Amino acid sequence: MELLVYLLLSGLTTGSLYALIALGIVVVNKATAVINFAHGELFMFSGFVAWMLHVQMGVPYLPSLLAAVAFGFLLGAATDLIAFRPLKNANIISLVLATIGIAFMLRGTARVIWGGKGDYLPFPPITSPEPIMIGGIMVIPQQLAVLAGSIVIMVAFAAFFRLTRAGKMMQATADNAKAATLAGIRIDRIYMLSFGTGAAIAGAAAALMAPLTLLYPDMGFSFFIKGFAAAVLGGLTSLPGAVLGGISIGIIESLAGGYLHSSFIEVSAFIVIMFVLVVRPTGLLGSTRFRRV
């Protein structure tokens, strides 16, 4: 029983981070109908920014996290200006190649700036590394802190969409861009806001995840794959689906690694996704409208 609870907690922690990455992917896809394949590198770059501020410059953790979020937003907005806006009327292959180009540029820049300091950079824990016992169950305080931080960010993001004018305009543009234009919404600004918001969420996820892992320039792709898988599982057009998909993948990976073998961690979630997509191609909570990806 103790092992099950520990694995579930670990799965919830990593799953909540996958959910944040998936949320960023879904935000961009809902507004623009494309997948930002540079999303993983935006995540990676923001994580390095948080590391540089917190470790090298001695800035406290919370301001470093907020700076990573702000920097992620700027990178996302720049991705819209450089890769999406000039090609928004082009075919989907051109858009995909443009975002992949941005990904390679960011990865190369990270190698130039931080690669010389070692391929893997540790981020100090924000809580005591010593495990604690709660009801006979071993709990790592760092996991609780990351889980709590992820929940706070998800709640703030939901409030932004529901309560702010910008969030409502983003929803309107995602539902029907032509109708939003007729209503006076400047959709080019909304597209930029969507790219920026998606990257800001990735920045928050990176700063939260950094104390649990090592930072390296190639980490973006692997986390993008997990976030993309979560978005597909939940539904590429559904924000709640992104959260559900991320948590599901985190728990599946944790249980598979704990009860089967560690080699199943990387493949178990994708086996489930393949099964779900055969049964329901739009994902668990996705709409049936056609979207180009």
Band (pLDDT 50/70/90 cuts) for residue 289 is low
Q: Is the dihedral of CA 217, 221, 222, 226 positive or negative?
A: positive
Identify the CA nearest to 51 among candidates 71, 76, 74, 36: 71
The reported pLDDT for the residue numbered 117 is: 61
Q: CB neighbours of 213 closer than 8 A, spacing ≥ 6?
A: 123, 219
Token readout for 19 is: 């959910």
Mean pLDDT of the chain: 86
Token readout for 185 is: 């919404």
Q: How confident is the model over 42-75, as pLDDT tens digits?
A: 999 999 999 999 999 999 999 999 999 999 999 9
The reported pLDDT for the residue numbered 293 is: 45
Indicate the length of the chain as a whole number. Answer: 293
Rounded CA separation 283/104 (Å): 29
260 CB burial (10 A radius; 0-12, 13-18, 19+): exposed
Band (pLDDT 50/70/90 cuts) for residue 292 is very low
Token readout for 118 is: 């070692």
Band (pLDDT 50/70/90 cuts) for residue 287 is low
Rounded CA separation 32/166 (Å): 16
- Higher-confidence residue of 153 and 131: namely 153
Q: How confident is the model over 1-24, as pLDDT tens digits?
A: 777 888 888 889 899 999 999 999
**Is 45:257 a contact under the CB 8 Å cutoff?**
no
Q: How confident is the model over 66-119, as pLDDT tens digits?
A: 999 999 999 999 999 998 888 878 888 888 899 999 999 999 999 888 876 657
Q: Taking 50 as the threshold, does the pLDDT of residue 147 lie above it? A: yes
Q: Kindly state the percentage of the chain with pLDDT values over 70.
A: 95
Radius of gyration, alpha carbons of the chain: 19
88 CB burial (10 A radius; 0-12, 13-18, 19+): middle
Q: How confident is the model over 188-240, as pLDDT tens digits?
A: 888 999 999 999 999 999 999 988 888 999 899 889 988 998 998 888 888 88
Q: Taking 90 as the threshold, does the pLDDT of residue 137 lie above it? A: no
The reported pLDDT for the residue numbered 291 is: 46
**Is 228:22 a contact under the CB 8 Å cutoff?**
yes
